[in-house]
Amino acid sequence: MSLPAAAQAPRGRRLATITAVRELGVYRVITVDDKDAPAPAPGQFAMLAAAERWGGGEDERPFLARAFSVARHERGASQFLLEDVGPGTARLCELDVGERLWLAGPFGRPFTAPEGRRRAILAGGGVGIAPLAILQDALEAGGVETVVLLGFRDGARVPGAELLRGAQLASDDGSAGHHGFVTELLERELARDGEAAVYACGPAGMLEAIRALCERTAVPAQLALESGMACGFGACYGCVVPTRDGGYLRVCVEGPVIDAALLERVEEHAGAHA
């Protein structure tokens, strides 16, 4: 099978209306009416900013738009998984049904399908589980077997697992599933059957452990990275990550999905903030 090719974003940003909000523990899933844009491919992202009161401090200094992976796309509506981790994300988490936001995208390089008859192992951590939901939809629609492994810091975040189907869970505090890291579940899964391709998104430490594990076991892996972005389309060079050959890739253009074999390591700034 093949996954959809990268969608080309319309020029400029557009106003979009929130049509649904769902609470999953500390997370919020917002559904945004976005019929004026092409359907995103799994792994692509959008830049989001509230249409009103988008600023902080006494002078309401504007925040930059934030990059969010598309978690799901159905009938012209995109879903995004949010967590309040600072002033900018706090403002987005305040938005409710009927309110509007500025949206640009979809941007970036998406996931590609596994080669041959390999099954797909989807490994996610925290808010980084988002792009794995739309990926699971596309792979299973194409008849690819998926195994879903999700890890969370604590019980307040475990409800985020409802975004995907049939997940095996790990939690740092032992509140759900395996008491430990999701990478330990992945190591067991690969020991059981290494004929797989790994797709991962999550904190930098998790992604680095997965990169190293897949290198050691010769299992192909695609990592969806996150880095600070000012533009989302390659102009500012604020999101570069080093490659094994001494070069650099822009996460927003040559990523966010990057073949793990291209990376010497996953740097601390290049993981989803869970």
What confidence tier does 253 reach under pLDDT thresholds 50, 70, 90? confident
Q: Does the reported pTM lie above 0.85?
A: yes
**For the residues of the chain, what is the DSSP string, one character each?**
--PPPPPPPPSS-EEEEEEEEEEETTEEEEEEE-TTSPPPPTT-EEEEEESSS-EETTTTEEPPPEEEE--EEETTEEEEEE---SHHHHHHHH--TT-EEEEEEEESB---PPSTT-EEEEEEEGGGGHHHHHHHHHHHHTT--EEEEEEESSTTTGGGGGGSSS-EEEETTSSSSEES-HHHHHHHHHHH---EEEEEES-HHHHHHHHHHHHHHT--EEEE-----SSSSSSS--SEEE-TTS-EEETTTT-BEEEGGG-S---GGGS---
SS (H, E, C) 212-244: HHHHHHCCCEEEECCCCCCCCCCCCCCCEEECC
CA distance 80 to 66: 12
Topology of the domain covering 119-270? Rossmann fold (3.40.50)
Specify burial of residue 115 (Cβ count, 10 A radius: 0-12, 13-18, 19+).
Answer: exposed
What confidence tier does 73 reach under pLDDT thresholds 50, 70, 90? very high
pLDDT score of 274 more than 50:
no
Homologous superfamily (CATH) for 14-106: Translation factors (2.40.30.10)
Convert the pLDDT of each residue in 198-216 to its tens digit: 999 999 999 999 999 999 9
**Furthest CA-CA distance within the chain:** 57
pLDDT score of 41 more than 70:
yes
Q: Where are the domains of the chain?
A: 14-106, 119-270
Convert the pLDDT of each residue in 89-143 to its tens digit: 999 999 999 999 999 999 999 999 998 888 999 999 999 999 999 999 999 999 9
Q: What pLDDT sits at residue 273?
A: 46
Convert the pLDDT of each residue in 10-37 to its tens digit: 988 999 999 999 999 999 999 999 998 8
